[in-house]
Amino acid sequence: MTPRQRDEKRAQLSSAHLGRVYRSLADEHAERTARLREQETWQRISAKASRSNWSLLERLAPKPAYGGTLFPAAIHRGWWAALAAAVALGVALLWLGVPEQNRAPGFSFEVDGQSVSSRWIHAENDDVSLRFSDGSAVQLRPQSAVSVALEGEHGARLRLSEGSLTAQVVHADATDWRFTAGPYEVRVTGTAFDLTWDGVQLQVQMHEGSVEVTGPNRGRWTASGTELLELGRQPEARLAEKDDLSSETLEQPSAEDEHFGSAREGTDQTARRGRTRAQAVKSWAEMLAAGEFTDILRDAQRQGVDHSLASRSASELSALAQAARYAKQPAVSERAWAALQQRYPSTAMAKEAAFFLGRVAEQRGQAAAAQRQYRAYLNDGKSGQYTGEALGGLMRLLRTADPSAAEAYARRYLKSFPTGPYARLARELSGAPSR
């Protein structure tokens, strides 16, 4: 073919043709990774749902997947139902015993007409309405998520993770509503406003009444009438913070961070009296369960990552490592796991740390380090919770680099997990007959 003919042919390339080729290449890639990771992904999703204590927990539970019991508590559903009925009966009896004038009205809320037990509420394509029993209402805008915690009879704590909402809070003597978004807290006693948080900037568009906002560096602002309040750092600052989190340079708390800590505690002690102690001293494990990964990292940064690694308990180090992993900060994750191994070498969590270090290394493309950690995990004596996964990781990593070693791990895998998620790969590598 002459160069001219080749050019003419290239000019004939159509977008549909290109689309088909890209689709076929991407589908092949996705299919291969999906096959390798399907069961692992399902287990992870189930675990996340469990940690978040979402309402789907109960619905997910009855079918243990892949030979494992994902939600052991749900197996005893009958017992739980009986316990719930007993508690409900007890509450009802107590209620009937209270004089009419002392009965609390009970503060509750509904989402689009249905009561929810879910902590996080997401709006996908349409608005989602939250109606509170005191007459207040929150309209969650599309592509937004908020968590709701009720405090007493007139208080609520709403955390906006991303997106926007419109709030109309009904005023009463003891009304104490707080909206948090990133490092900001908006205090409300009775007002209407729009709140938007995009991960960098906070925007408060007032419609009625007034609000007080507190934030980093002893920041304190008020907005009333129809004012628009915009707060937040520039994107470059956020990038710098993100880079710093994974680097050595921000091991010590910055001046802003030190102020941030004291500002949050010292801004207005009186107004904060109603705030629950539980929220103020929420542990990292609880924050991890609530999906507040960046908050954990921010906490660690505020105290100094080095200081946190040297002083936190084993479970807190584990929470920090997991949070960093979910927040795509592998360097911090690695350091937390390593600190856990060094400071608490005899704990079960330290053993698991080797597996997670392998996982992080594999995700970062550090094949040799990943192999070393997986081997360390497997060589630690007893079979652990992640033995199958570690064997699977070694098979993946060694199948082309060292087929004979991969075959040995494949045989070991089939011996312990003949129907496990990597069984197909193991049979392929070991030449064992497929089932």
Q: Which of residues 4-63 bind other proteins (CB under 8 A)?
A: 6, 9-34, 36-38, 41-42, 44-45, 48-49, 52, 54-56, 59-63
Size of the site for other proteins (CB under 8 A): 76
Closest to 138 (Cα-Cα) out of 103, 186, 183: 186
Q: How far is the CB of 58 from other proteins (least distance, A)?
A: 9
Q: Measured in whole angstroms, how far is the alpha carbon of residue 10 from the centre of its chain?
A: 47
Of 214 and 371, the one with the shorter C-beta distance to other proteins is: 371
> Looking at 151-159, 193-201, 256-264, 338-346, which segment touches other proteins (CB under 8 A)?
193-201
For other proteins, the binding residue among 235, 266, 403, 418 (CB under 8 A) is: 235
User: Please, are residues 204 and 225 in contact by the beta-carbon 8 Å criterion?
Assistant: no
For other proteins, the binding residue among 285, 349, 367, 405 (CB under 8 A) is: 367
Q: How far is the CB of 25 from other proteins (least distance, A)?
A: 4
Token pair, residue 303, equals 């105290």
Of 155 and 232, the one with the shorter C-beta distance to other proteins is: 232
Is 126 a binding residue for other proteins by CB under 8 A? The answer is yes
Q: How far is the CB of 399 from other proteins (least distance, A)?
A: 6
Is 75 a binding residue for other proteins by CB under 8 A? The answer is no
Burial, 395: exposed, middle or buried (Cβ in 10 Å; 0-12, 13-18, 19+)?
buried
What is the number of other CB atoms lying within 10 angstroms of the CB of residue 108? 12
Contacts (CB under 8 A) with other proteins, residues 270-329: 326, 328
User: Please, are residues 154 and 174 in contact by the beta-carbon 8 Å criterion?
Assistant: yes
Q: How far is the CB of 222 from other proteins (least distance, A)?
A: 27
Closest to 178 (Cα-Cα) out of 304, 47, 280, 297: 280
Give dist(CA 225, CA 193) in Å, integer: 10
Ordered alpha helix ranges (H), 52-161: 56-60, 72-75, 77-97
For other proteins, the binding residue among 8, 65, 117, 280 (CB under 8 A) is: 65
User: What does the angle CA 138 – CA 141 – CA 146 come to, to the nearest 5 degrees?
Assistant: 65
Is 79 a binding residue for other proteins by CB under 8 A? The answer is no
Of 27 and 268, the one with the shorter C-beta distance to other proteins is: 27
User: Please, are residues 179 and 167 in contact by the beta-carbon 8 Å criterion?
Assistant: yes
Is 81 a binding residue for other proteins by CB under 8 A? The answer is no
Q: CA quadruple 416, 419, 424, 425: dihedral positive or negative?
A: negative
Q: Look up tokens 């795509």; give the residue.
A: 328
For other proteins, the binding residue among 222, 262, 342, 363 (CB under 8 A) is: 363
Of 122 and 275, the one with the shorter C-beta distance to other proteins is: 122
For other proteins, the binding residue among 242, 307, 375, 411 (CB under 8 A) is: 242
Instruction: For residue 347, give Cα distances in angstroms to 71, 287, 313, 314, 354.
Output: 24, 22, 11, 8, 12
Of 9 and 220, the one with the shorter C-beta distance to other proteins is: 9
Q: Provide the mask over 399-428, with x wherever binding to other proteins is found by CB under 8 A and - wherever it is not.
A: xx----------------------------
Q: Which residues pair with 206 in a beta bridge?
A: 193
For other proteins, the binding residue among 107, 194, 199, 217 (CB under 8 A) is: 199
Q: Provide the mask over 149-188, with x wherever binding to other proteins is found by CB under 8 A and - wherever it is not.
A: -------------x--------------------------
User: Please, are residues 54 and 119 in contact by the beta-carbon 8 Å criterion?
Assistant: yes
Which helix (H) or strand (E) covers residue 323, if one does? Answer: helix 314-326
